[in-house]
Structures are given as structure tokens and as C-alpha cells.
């Protein structure tokens, strides 16, 4: 019989961002080492006709490998995946991606809520969610769902956001574990993951 400890081994990171998000995402990813052990899966609201430049920009500012997520692709540790423009990005229980052109959620496709909520079925309590800058309330239901499942939620301090509504809405609607200024999030994430892995080795 083993005792449940409060610390868990995290298995994935999901990030949602909107207005001002590209700058915020580069700030979060740039401090992470190339051996960062988890997959990072991102929904950034983009114009539907924008091409896949987001992955290229993020890879340029990061030591990690970044790509646009593909249908049925298995999710691998140490990669950063971004949702393609105009598609919802879902995570299946077998930890592969699926893409959907269902209706926008909160006027957004891809939707942060859709990514976060589907990620909880695959990763349950072993999930870290991060909400960054944005001008709407996409992500607040997903943040609540991650917390309900026992995961960990980080929100960008709204005072450091280009658009404060998305982080403020998450803070109001979900029990957030930590509110962190933008330029400390990458470092904080690294500490959190290293600490959980060390304790559970």
C-alpha cells in the first residue's frame, strides 16, 4: 500500500494566450533548457488565415523543438506543439492530437478551453496549465477543469499582461495556484517540474 503524497509527477504543460501572446510565449519558453522533460502544448489565438509562422517564431526564441500539431500525432516529451490556425486542438485519452473545425468556443478557434478540458482526460492531475495575456475570457472554464481534476494552474500577473482580461477572468473563476509576473513564469515552471521529478524519483 503506498501513501498518496501531495506532490505528483507532472506529465504535460498546456498554455493559452491571445492578444499580446506571441511576446508572452517567447518570454515563457526562452528560459527553458533543451532537456525540459515535458511536452508543452499551446493555443494562441491567431487570425484564421495566418500561416504556421508561430512555430517558427517560437523555435527561434527557444532551445526547445517547436512544431505545429498534426492530426493523430503522438505527444512526445521535450517538444512544444502549437495549434494550427482555425482548428481546435484536442488531446485524446491515448495522448495523441486531434484537430476539429467545430464551432468557435467563446468566439475562438482554436479555443484554450477546448485544449485544457480535453487535456484533463489524458493527463488528469498530472497537468500544469498556464494562462497568459488575452482580451477575452477563453481559458477560465478550462482552468477550473484543470483544478477540479487536481492539476496545477499558473496565471500571468494581469499587471504584466498586454491584455489583462484573460488572466483576470481565470483568477476570478478558478482557484489558481500561483499568479506570476510574465518574466518569471518560465523559471517558475522549471522549478515546479524539477521539484516534482526530484521528489518522486
Catalytic residue numbers, as ranges? 18, 45, 138
Cα separation, 151 vs 31, whole angstroms: 23
Residues 6 or more apart whose Cβ sits within 8 Å of residue 92: 98, 118, 122
CA trace torsion 112, 116, 122, 125 (10° rounding): 160
Give kind and range of the element (H or E) at residue 144: helix 140-148
Q: Residue 67 CB: number of other CB atoms within 10 A?
A: 15
Q: Which three cell numbers stand for residue 92?
A: 485524446
Cα separation of 103 and 173, whole Å?
Answer: 23
> What is the largest distance, in Å, between two alpha-carbon atoms of the chain?
54
Cross-strand partners of 105? 108
How many of the other CB atoms lie within 10 Å of CB of 64? 19
Instruction: Report the alpha-carbon angle 35-40-43, nearest 5.
Output: 155
Amino acid at each position: 500500500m503506498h501513501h498518496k503524497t501531495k506532490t505528483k509527477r507532472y506529465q504535460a504543460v498546456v498554455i493559452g494566450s491571445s492578444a499580446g501572446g506571441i511576446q508572452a510565449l517567447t518570454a515563457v519558453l526562452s528560459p527553458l533548457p533543451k532537456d525540459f522533460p515535458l511536452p508543452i502544448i499551446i493555443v494562441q489565438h491567431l487570425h484564421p488565415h495566418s500561416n504556421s509562422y508561430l512555430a517558427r517564431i517560437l523555435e527561434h526564441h527557444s532551445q526547445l523543438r517547436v512544431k505545429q500539431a498534426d492530426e493523430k500525432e503522438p505527444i512526445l516529451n521535450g517538444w512544444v506543439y502549437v495549434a494550427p490556425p482555425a482548428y481546435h486542438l484536442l488531446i485524446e485519452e491515448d495522448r495523441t492530437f486531434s484537430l476539429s473545425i467545430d464551432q468557435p468556443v467563446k468566439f475562438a478557434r482554436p479555443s484554450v478551453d477546448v485544449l485544457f478540458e480535453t487535456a484533463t482526460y489524458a493527463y488528469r492531475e498530472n497537468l500544469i496549465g498556464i494562462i497568459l495575456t488575452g482580451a477575452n475570457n477563453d481559458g477560465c472554464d478550462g482552468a477550473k477543469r484543470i483544478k477540479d481534476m487536481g492539476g496545477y494552474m499558473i496565471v500571468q500577473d494581469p499587471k504584466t499582461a498586454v491584455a489583462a482580461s484573460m488572466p483576470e477572468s481565470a483568477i476570478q473563476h478558478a482557484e489558481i495556484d500561483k499568479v506570476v509576473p510574465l518574466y518569471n513564469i518560465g523559471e517558475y515552471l522549471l522549478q515546479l517540474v524539477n521539484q516534482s521529478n526530484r521528489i518522486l524519483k
